[in-house]
Amino acid sequence: MGLSSFRQVSEGMKMKITTICVPCLLERIRYQSELKDTKNGPDIIKACLEILAEGYDPDVCSAELATIVHKKSHDMLGFDPYYEMKEESNRVAVSLLPRARDFIRNSSDPLESAMVVSVTGNVMDFGISERWKTPSALSDNFDLLLSEGLGHNDLDRIKPYLKNGNKIIYFTDNCGEVVLDQLLLEHLKERGCRVVLVVKGEPILTDATIKDVEEFQLGKIVDRVLTTGVFAVGLDMNNIPADLLNEINSADLIISKGMANFEAFSEKILVATAFLLRTKCLPVASALGLPVEINAAKLVLPGWMPEES
């Protein structure tokens, strides 16, 4: 399907909610509401269906509506359904670090290989794909994913932003993935960049929080650690904490991990942004002008629009 078929989705690059997003979002809600037991599933699905029925609009940002739905699910559950899965994701990623370091060490371009490792950690999406049902699937598929490399590679365009003294704002995504991110963070610091690491302000989905930063001592690698401040899929563009917004406004480059961060940032490209992600769904891939199921490092500048395909 060509990108022109999704022009109503991207509106430039904006990632608006689509009809494809609805069953995907509901399946995620069903999955997380029944991770512990099935008793909460029917009531949570009903409440979330009511939100979708009232809030669905093709002009609404997918991340904004997903945040409202996930907040309802989270509040009704009263606990973090992904806690154990996030812990397991981190353990699996730690076990992969030696293989990842060898892959980078034996590469002709260690920076590119560190990006590949970082993007490889983005493949897991529990509750959506049968292939990624458990964290162990990353270990089982790790070497194959590394061998794919970057299906879209803007590294030559990204490198000029990674100069000595330049400020990089690095928005993390999932647990497990954030463990592998540290290898890329190390390379950014070796290049002399000032790196501000950003994690979620509250537990949401399988995303990394300050707990993971402290556990893996990522603060010792980067120059500053901040959070997104509130419960949000990606980043709530209307409620960016003042300290984070100040850092963004003086940044040379944003590195944005994962699809949810892309969905949020697609509403407004604040500065040059390198999206590092696995294109796991058609609406996101189409909004970026990329194929589905590739590892991508895509540089986007303010005012950018995807090419017709």
- 60 and 103 housed in the same domain: no
- Asked if 181 and 276 count as a contact pair (C-beta separation under 8 A), the reply is no
Note whether residue 296 is domain-resident.
Answer: yes
Length of the chain: 309
- 202 and 266 housed in the same domain: yes
pLDDT at 204 > cutoff 90? yes
Beta pairing class for 253-257 and 167-171: parallel
13, 278, 3, 273: CA torsion to nearest 10: 20
- pLDDT-based confidence at residue 13 (cuts at 50, 70, 90): low
Note whether residue 180 is domain-resident.
Answer: yes
- 71 and 88 housed in the same domain: no
Note whether residue 307 is domain-resident.
Answer: no
- pLDDT-based confidence at residue 194 (cuts at 50, 70, 90): very high
- What CATH number does residue 279 fall under? 3.40.50.10880
- 34 and 154 housed in the same domain: no
| Structural domain containing residue 70 | 3-77
* Backbone φ, ψ for residue 66 (5° rounding): -60, -35
- 50 and 191 housed in the same domain: no
pLDDT at 25 > cutoff 90? yes
- 147 and 50 housed in the same domain: no
More confident residue, 128 or 59: 59
Give per-residue pLDDT as tens, 130-152.
676 778 888 889 999 999 999 99
> How much is the pLDDT for 309?
37
Asked whether the whole model's pTM tops 0.75, one would answer: yes
Note whether residue 233 is domain-resident.
Answer: yes
pLDDT at 96 > cutoff 90? yes
Give per-residue pLDDT as tens, 217-270.
999 999 999 999 999 999 999 999 999 999 999 999 999 999 999 999 988 888
Q: What is the mean pLDDT of residues 69-91?
A: 95
Name the domain count of the chain: 2
- 39 and 110 housed in the same domain: no
